[in-house]
Structure 1
Amino acid sequence: MIKTSSSQLSIEGFLDPEIGRLNPENRWVKLANSIPWAELGLVYESKMSTGKGSPCKPARLVIGALIVKHKLNVSDAEAIEQIKENPYLQYFVGLGSFTTEKAFDPSLFTTVRKRLGYGDFNRMSSLLQHEGIRIAEGDRDEGSKDGHSGDAEDDKRVVSCDATVAPQEIPYPTDLGLLATARVQSEKIIDLLWPVARDSGLSKKPRTYRDKAHREYVGATRKKRKGAEFWRVCARRQLNYLERNLRHIDSLIEANKGVIRLKSRFLKILMVLHEIARQQSLMLETGANRVDGRIVNVFQPHVRPIVRGKNGSDTEFGAKLSVSLHEGYSYLDKAQWDAYYEGDAEVIRGHIDSFGERNPEMKLGKFVGDKIYGNRNARQTMSGAGVEFVGSPLGRPPSSPEKIRERKENRTLHQRHRSRAEGKFGEVKRGHGLDKIQARRADTSLSWIACIFFVANLKRFQSEIFFDLVFLSWKYGIWLQDGEKKQEKTVWQNILAG
């Protein structure tokens, strides 16, 4: 059931028993007053039932808490504690006055992530971008009619695309470690099944050799010199223990049909254990080092190894993302756990279609990407959509002066937009935790990733509004009296020059 807040809070009405009224210059107060909460709330409420269930938390409270969590790059529980202790954060999330109670239980974050997909966070980012454009155009109308230049209009029709991986926070996977973890989980399932099987008439618990298997695993990890054959022998031993346990589990379930019922959590783990045993057995028999749909973590079987070929991280383990950057706002156009080719024509078409859905009044003009986006099929897809690719052209270098000059201009535009895309990845990975996704489900992990990009877009939205106000106050003097404009413009020019 949807529960909406009464109205936008005013800072004068928020009181703190210790400090009294809040400081209007605080960063959280400024950010709260600039965000279009009502529009963002519509996206949140579209995922809620209108008449069923208990009343949900107000949209500003939930969205504000998500912003606090990812802006401060803290855990779910720590975000709630920060809100509980900070009156400025309580004003930011829409509370009427300071309270020492928790805003809500941290587990609600997981529930929200299950409901809000990355498409919903893209919609929120698009609302921010259009709100920023509306504010900027309104300010320009107050200052002057010639606020836009031709170059600015051209930049509006340019999108820069790139791909990256959002690594999951999992132990670095090895075949031996994966098999040892799977063996331990199979032993736990046997321990769960045995009491019921014993009551049904079985007299002897299946042997698991858990102590011996554990000693062999620890001894293998402590050995200093380990060759490839040594690893294969150790992995085969752990696999034998795992397969033996799985046979015991299957026999216990078969002998007690209708009596033994595993919980869904352990049933899912059991299915994962069977698949791990199949994959590892196949690789050991064929001598291969890869297999389709390879599982690298027992508890997050959706995570796949993504080969990137980067320095220091040749292979990463997480979701692969295709991101488009438009006027400083980043959008998650494609997110997938299995590896894919980002230069594929379908991926390119997805970027173009997503831009059209976000900007129905505008046609995409230029597509900026690295060499992987410049293959022949991708160029044909862009050409068919009336989009120009900005990047290294195919074929020999040109010889005519006009073509050389055109290539130089394209190289400059390409480098400018590519630097912005790479900088955006650095911002979200180091500043907002995209390099360590801590959600455990496949859907909540993608929601976590999309929320990080939304918070980064919020930072862009705030800086865009601030720049427009400062620039227009300097250029047009819209906040000054007529007699003060000339003097104020001279002061600004001296500051920028010196």
Structure 2
Amino acid sequence: MRLARLIDWPLFEARFGALYVEGAGRPGLPTRLMVALHLLKHMDGLSDEAVCARYLDSPYVQAFCGESHFQHALPLDRSSMTRWRQRVGAERMEVLLAETLAAAERAGAVAEKHYERVTIDTTVQPKAVSHPTDSKLLQRGIEALARMARKHGITLRQSYRRVARAARREAARLHHGGKFREAEARVRRLRTWFGRLARDIVRKMAGNAKAKAASAETLGLINRLLRQKRSDRGADKLYSLHAPEEACIGKGKARTRFEFGVKVSVATTNAQAPGGQFVLGMQSLPGNPYDGHTLAGQIE
């Protein structure tokens, strides 16, 4: 309750108001509700589902979100938080970070002098994806192509979905048993089916401009996957179809030699303020750039 009184809630109405239009579609959810849920989400490191569950459990959370009476039903769907983030965008989301610092100043937890020196470091934000393997990636590609064909009404000679699942399981079993040559044979078979299916779809989609435009991004990823080799390195290596920004990053950690995710840069206060150390800026750095090249952008 004390924190709610320190935050300038009308500021968010003014900054995000341009994103909403009167009388167009379903009425938008209150801005304070969405901002408060995202502040709580990041304060405690919660998922969207967990912060929505906490809203129903705690009258303090509901008061923080602007409610005057206890609510027994959730006023939004969990997916509304994802759509709200997409609408607001990364640049406007920085308003939330800036207001946390302004609220800390009003509370006396941080002063102007604590901003004079900053500490900047990079780390890896792991993606919530399973460990990438060739057989798994090829099988996911076959499933993605089969879904694309079904969506656009394309009749396939064979979808290969059933045999691809069996080949992936067999490759995993053989790798686990140390029979690497037999496992690689299954992977080559998956790659053959994948290329055959991709060529079949591209031929039958040639006269459908609308389908080609709608599937251009997916087909681009499919072509990258068909061209890449196991020995490829760098930003062009594809590790996940639904998260193509994912990279294999080694930060010299003893416990984890490689991590699969996206490099992020974090700037914090250097001096220990009365309220602790405060985050001043964060950046996502797709492509695994060299740490020294990210310093100028983070300082800015």
TM-score band by shorter chain is 0.7 to 0.9
Are positions 1:349 and 2:300 aligned together? no
In structure 2, how many angstroms separate the alpha carbons of the residues matched to 1:157 and 1:293?
39
Question: Whole-Å Cα distance in 2 between the matches of residues 99 and 84 of structure 1?
Answer: 7
TM-score by length of 2: 0.82
Once the 2 structures are TM-superposed, how far is the Cα of residue 260 of structure 1 from its aligned partner?
A: 7.9
Shift in Å, 1:116? 3.0
- Aligned counterpart, 1:164: 123
1:103 partner SS = coil
Match of 1:216 among 167, 175, 188: 167
AA in 2 matched with 1:261: A
CA distance, structure 1, for counterparts of residue 226 and residue 173 of structure 2: 24
> 1:166 Cα shift?
1.0
Find the aligned partners of 1:73 and 1:349 in 2 and give their Cα distance: 28
Counting only pairs closer than 5 Å after superposition, residues 455-466 of structure 1 correspond to structure 2 as none
Q: 2:200 aligns with which of 248, 251, 269?
A: 248
2:138 to 179, 201, 211: 179
Aligned equivalent of 1:69: 41
CA deviations 1:381-408 (Å, max 9, x no partner) are: xxxxxxxxxxxxxxxxxxxxxxxxxxxx
Aligned to 1:261: 211
Question: Could you say which residue in structure 2 is the equivalent of 1:111?
Answer: 83
**Unaligned stretches of 5+ in structure 1?**
1-28, 138-147, 198-204, 354-498
Shift of 1:94: 0.3
Equivalent pair of 2:52/2:78 in contact (CA under 8 Å): yes
Please give the secondary structure, in 1, of the residue aligned with 2:122: strand
Q: Shift of residue 176 of structure 1?
A: 1.9
**Cα separation, 2, equivalents of 1:269 and 1:222:** 30
**Equivalents in 2 of 1:211, 1:111: separation in Å?**
34
Q: Percent identity?
A: 22
The 1:191–1:350 alpha-carbon spacing in structure 2 relative to 1, beyond 3 Å, is closer
Rounded Cα–Cα distance in structure 2 between residues aligned with 1:230 and 1:176 = 13
Provide the C-alpha distance between the structure 1 equivalents of 2:179 and 2:281, rounded to a whole number of angstroms. Answer: 42
Cα offset for 1:225? 3.4
2-side partners of 1:225 and 1:236: how far apart? Answer: 18
In the other structure, the counterpart of 1:233 is 185
Distance 1:184 1:134, change over 3 A: closer
Residue 445 of structure 1 is matched in structure 2 by none
1:185-334, aligned counterparts within 5 Å? 185-192=144-151, 197=155, 205-223=156-174, 224-226=176-178, 229-254=181-206, 257-258=207-208, 261=211, 264=214, 268-279=217-228, 283=229, 288-290=231-233, 292-326=235-269, 327=273, 328-334=277-283
Contact between 1:159 and 1:325, CA under 8 Å: does it hold in 2? yes
Q: Cα offset for 1:61?
A: 1.1
With the length of structure 1 as denominator, give the TM-score of the two structures: 0.52
Question: Measured at CA, do residues 110 and 332 of structure 1 come closer, stay the same or move farther in structure 2, by a change above 3 Å?
Answer: same
- For 2:99 and 2:243, the matched residues in 1 are separated by 33
**Number of residue equivalences:** 291
Change in CA separation of 1:308 and 1:233 when aligned onto 2, cut-off 3 Å: farther
Paired residue secondary structure (2:227) = helix
CA distance in 2, matches of 1:165, 1:291: 16
After superposition, give the CA deviation of every residue in 1:159-217 in whole Å (9 maximum; x if it has no partner): 11111111110111112211122123223334455x555xxxxxxx5134544443332
Alignment partners' CA distance in 2, 1:237 and 1:160: 50
1:232 positional shift = 4.0
Q: Contact (CA 8 Å) 1:276, 1:295: kept in 2 or not? A: yes
- Residues 196, 259 of structure 1: 8 Å contact kept: no
Distance 2:115 2:219 in 1: 52
In structure 2, the partner of 1:339 is: 288
Q: 1:227 to 1:161 in 2, by over 3 A?
A: farther
The structural deviation recorded for 1:120 is: 3.0
Report the residue type matching 2:132 in the other structure. Answer: P
**What amino acid is aligned across from residue 162 of structure 1 in structure 2?**
D
Distance 1:323 1:42 in 2: 28
Task: Decide whether aligned partners of structure 1 residues 240 and 38 sit closer, same or farther in structure 2, where only a CA change above 3 A counts.
Answer: same
- TM-superposed CA distance for 1:40, in Å, is 4.2
Distance 2:234 2:286 in 1: 15
Instruction: Decide whether aligned partners of structure 1 residues 124 and 191 sit closer, same or farther in structure 2, where only a CA change above 3 A counts.
Output: closer
Q: List aligned pairs for 1:7-86, cutoff 5 A.
A: 29-45=1-17, 48-49=19-20, 53=24, 55-86=27-58
Distance 2:234 2:179 in 1: 22
What is the CA–CA distance in structure 2 between the aligned matches of 1:69 and 1:343, rounded to whole Å? 31
Paired amino acid for 2:202:
D
The CA deviation at 1:89 is 1.9
Change (3 A) 1:184 1:33: same
Shift of 1:30: 3.0
**Cα separation, 2, equivalents of 1:317 and 1:93:** 35
When residues 230 and 292 of structure 1 are mapped into structure 2, their CA distance, relative to the original with a 3 A threshold, is farther
Give the AA of the match of 2:297. Answer: G
Q: Using the alignment, how far apart are the partners of 2:210 and 2:11 within structure 1?
A: 50
Q: Distance between the aligned counterparts of 2:209 and 2:95, measured in 1?
A: 48
Are the equivalent residues in 2 in contact too, given 1:324–1:330 (CA < 8 A)?
yes
